[in-house]
Structures are given as structure tokens and as C-alpha cells.
């Protein structure tokens, strides 16, 4: 009798965190089934999670350590490979630790990532340890930690379904985070208006009530222009600003330099549309900002992220369901990797 069992896990692809069940037969994964009662994906799974498991038992996968000698790889035992790695690390740790570098995986569990940085810092004496968030969501960590004190999303993903207005910038979630995109579809069915600001007309933009095309790399100018419009129309949340923020006058001084015509020239966006979207965002009871790598993978990515935080704080869209700043992570444990240092 062949035993087939389900082993529950979390999909490793994007940061949505969908629950999946690996279908295991004779000790090998032969398929994936959605975790029917998981609160994130509620029994649904996207094509990546559904079909992206074949690499696990693929014949091209390495099963034996390889050591390069004279420009060629040769197979080695685990003992030989581990001894070589350990002795090499020790040689540099004893002489010049700064010549060592460690790179952790944002798809690994917290325990693996923690021990990686512990090996680097405590074991080898180097601070050269990193993971992929440096080039994807490092600006989120830096920008949100600077503005909010924590480099994480301000809301749970279910919160988006309670939004009245969703400003999506630099995120094509229908392709990159499909199960989060499903929650946005639910929000639209609940009456939310979706505005997608993106240089490219994406599948997510096709769902939007309004698509705002603008020149790539001009995100700060766009959002500062929106901030100026909100202030000029008296739509800022003065009580929230007074009780919950710092540095408002300094931020205002900068934003007031962004005249609408100048912003339209910089961004190549429609000035009337910029004004309309800014006012609608400010007037919504619960307005959410959604972003992803489209605004973080820039030389000024942290500035982009801080601009989203400024918009949310200006209008008091923090500390409430259906509001907030919602970064969509690229891998399943980017936040854990950042938290583990």
C-alpha cells in the first residue's frame, strides 16, 4: 500500500505567506495542494505556488558538494567540503575578518538566518553579512524605520479589504502577489476605488478605476505634489499631525515647493489627474497605500518609501483598519531576515 500524506508549509515564493500542503509519496514531493483553512489564501494558490515545486526533485539539482580545482569542479564528500569551508573561514577570521562576507537567504526560516549572522559576527568577527533586502526592500526597512520606528507593514494584509481608497504605486500585485491581488479585488467589490500609479500599464492597472502613468524615477516629485495639493485644500488631518507626528513644518516647507505644473513637467503625468487623485485619497475615510519593488529598487528608494509614509501621516491614515502603508515583500521571509539582523 502506497502512503500519500499532506505536509503543511508556507509557499516560498512571494511575501504574501500562503498556506500550502506538500503532497508527499515515498518520501518525495509529488505535488502541491492549497491549505484549505489557511487564513491568508483561504484554499487558493497562484500558479507559482501550484506548479513551482518541480525543482525539488529535478535531476539537474546538485546532491553532492563540488570543489573547484584548476578551474574544474570535482565531486567531494560532505566531510571534505565542510572541512575546507571551516578551515578557510578560520584562516581569514584569524587574520583579516573583513575579507569575509556572508549572504543569508530571505526564503530561509528565522533560525537559519539568525545563525548565519551569528556565525559571521560572533564566530568570524565580520560585519559583512547581508541578504537580498539590500536591493529589494532595504529601502522599506530604512524608510519605514525612520518614519514609523519599525521597518514593517503598518497593517495586516486582510485590512486592505476594508479600504475605501487604494493608492497602488510601484506594485503589480496581480502578477507578483496574486493572492494579495485577490484581496484588492474583494476591496473593489466592497466599494473601494483603486488607483494604480505606474510607468507601465500592468495587469493590476487593468483592474484600476483610474490608471496614472508617470515617468519612472519621479515618485518623490509625484507624492510631494500630492502632499502640496492636500495641504492647499485644507484636507490634512491637523489633530493627527499635532498629536502623532514630528517635523510637519519642515516637511511642509519642502512639499510646498512642488507646484503642480512643475510636478507634471517632472513626472510627465496629467496635472488634473494628480490633483484629483490627491484630493480623493485625502477625503477617503480609510485610504491605503500599497507599494512594492517598483519604488524601492531605486537609488532613492528610501526617499520614495518615506514619501508614502508622509502621505499616510498627513491624512491620518495610520492606526486604522483599511489604511496604512502596505509594502509587498518579494520573498516569503524578507521581514524575518530583516528582523534577525
Contact 215, 274 (CB under 8 A): no
| 300 and 185 co-located in one domain | yes
What's the pLDDT score for residue 1?
A: 66
What's the pLDDT score for residue 160?
A: 97
**Which residue numbers in the chain have pLDDT < 70?**
1
Domain-located, residue 280: yes
Per DSSP, helices labelled H in the chain are: 47-51, 78-95, 110-118, 138-148, 173-176, 178-189, 203-207, 219-232, 238-244, 248-255, 260-267, 271-283, 293-296, 301-314, 334-339
Domain-located, residue 91: no
State the CATH number of the domain containing residue 17. 2.20.25.90
| 50 and 166 co-located in one domain | no
Instruction: Say if residue 217 is exposed, middle or buried (CB neighbours under 10 Å; 0-12, 13-18, 19+).
Output: middle
Cα 263 from chain centroid (whole Å): 27
| 154 and 46 co-located in one domain | no
pLDDT in tens, 119-145: 999 999 999 999 887 777 778 888 998
Domain-located, residue 133: no
pLDDT in tens, 188-231: 999 999 999 999 999 999 999 999 999 999 999 999 999 999 99
Instruction: Say if residue 86 is exposed, middle or buried (CB neighbours under 10 Å; 0-12, 13-18, 19+).
Output: exposed
Domain count, the chain: 2
What's the pLDDT score for residue 336?
A: 86
Query: Which has the closest alpha carbon to 296: 176, 136, 106?
Result: 136
Whole-structure pTM value = 0.89
| 159 and 277 co-located in one domain | yes
Last residue of a domain, one of 57, 74, 94: 57
> Which strand (E) or helix (H) includes residue 194?
strand 193-197
| 314 and 176 co-located in one domain | yes
Query: Which has the closest alpha carbon to 264: 249, 274, 255, 251?
Result: 274
User: How many degrees, rounded to 5, is the angle at CA 11 between CA 9 and CA 17?
Assistant: 100
Beta bridge partners of 169: 197, 291
Q: Number of helices and strands (H, E) in the chain?
A: 15, 12
Domain that holds residue 238: 150-329
| 290 and 189 co-located in one domain | yes
- Residues with Cβ within 8 Å of 325's Cβ and at least 6 positions away in sequence, in order, are 144, 148, 153, 154, 155, 289, 291, 308, 309, 312, 318
Any idea which residue has 495610520 for its cell?
Answer: 318
Last residue of a domain, one of 57, 79, 97: 57
What's the Cα-to-Cα distance from 123 to each of 114, 115, 118, 119, rounded to whole Å?
13, 10, 7, 4
Domain-located, residue 130: no
What's the pLDDT score for residue 87?
A: 97
The residue length of the chain stands at 341
Domain-located, residue 48: yes
Q: What does the block give as the cell for 303? A: 526617499
| 188 and 316 co-located in one domain | yes
| 28 and 154 co-located in one domain | no
Backbone angles phi, psi at 179, to 5 degrees: -75, -25
> Hey, is 87 helix, strand or coil?
helix
Last residue of a domain, one of 57, 79, 99: 57
Q: How many angstroms separate the first and last alpha carbons of the chain?
A: 47
Domain-located, residue 78: no
Q: What does the block give as the cell for 134? A: 539590500
State the CATH number of the domain containing residue 293. 3.40.228.10
pLDDT in tens, 157-182: 999 999 999 999 999 999 999 999 99
What's the pLDDT score for residue 225?
A: 98
Domain-located, residue 134: no
Domain-located, residue 242: yes
Amino acid at each position: 500500500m502506497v502512503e500519500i500524506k499532506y505536509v503543511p508549509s508556507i509557499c516560498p515564493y512571494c511575501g504574501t505567506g500562503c498556506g500550502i500542503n506538500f503532497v508527499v509519496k515515498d518520501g518525495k514531493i509529488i505535488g502541491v495542494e492549497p491549505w484549505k483553512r489557511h487564513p491568508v489564501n483561504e484554499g487558493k494558490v497562484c500558479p507559482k505556488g501550484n506548479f513551482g515545486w518541480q525543482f525539488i526533485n529535478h535531476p539537474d539539482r546538485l546532491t553532492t558538494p563540488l570543489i573547484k580545482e584548476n578551474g574544474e569542479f570535482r565531486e567531494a564528500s560532505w566531510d571534505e567540503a565542510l572541512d575546507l569551508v571551516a578551515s578557510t573561514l578560520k584562516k581569514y577570521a584569524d587574520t583579516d575578518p573583513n575579507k569575509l562576507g556572508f549572504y543569508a537567504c530571505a526564503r530561509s526560516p528565522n533560525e537559519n538566518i539568525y545563525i548565519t549572522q551569528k556565525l559571521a559576527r560572533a564566530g568570524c568577527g565580520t560585519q559583512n553579512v547581508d541578504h537580498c533586502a539590500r536591493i529589494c526592500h532595504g529601502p522599506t526597512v530604512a524608510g519605514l524605520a525612520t518614519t514609523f520606528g519599525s521597518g514593517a507593514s503598518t497593517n495586516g494584509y486582510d485590512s486592505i479589504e476594508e479600504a475605501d481608497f487604494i493608492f497602488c504605486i510601484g506594485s503589480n500585485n496581480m502578477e507578483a502577489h496574486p493572492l494579495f491581488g485577490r484581496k484588492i479585488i474583494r476591496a473593489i467589490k466592497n466599494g473601494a476605488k483603486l488607483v494604480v500609479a505606474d510607468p507601465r500599464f500592468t495587469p493590476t492597472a487593468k483592474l484600476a478605476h483610474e490608471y496614472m502613468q508617470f515617468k519612472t524615477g519621479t515618485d518623490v516629485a509625484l507624492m510631494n505634489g500630492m502632499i502640496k495639493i492636500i495641504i492647499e485644500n485644507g484636507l490634512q488631518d491637523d489633530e493627527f499631525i499635532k498629536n502623532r507626528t514630528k517635523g510637519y513644518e519642515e516637511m511642509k516647507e519642502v512639499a510646498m515647493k512642488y507646484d503642480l505644473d512643475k510636478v507634471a513637467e517632472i513626472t510627465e503625468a496629467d496635472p488634473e489627474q494628480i490633483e484629483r487623485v490627491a484630493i480623493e485619497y485625502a477625503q477617503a475615510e480609510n485610504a491605503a497605500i500599497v507599494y512594492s519593488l517598483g519604488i524601492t529598487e531605486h537609488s532613492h528608494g528610501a526617499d520614495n518609501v518615506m514619501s508614502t509614509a508622509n502621505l499616510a501621516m498627513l491624512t491620518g491614515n495610520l492606526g486604522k483598519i483599511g489604511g496604512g502603508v502596505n509594502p509587498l515583500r518579494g520573498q516569503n521571509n524578507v521581514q524575518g531576515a530583516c528582523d534577525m539582523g
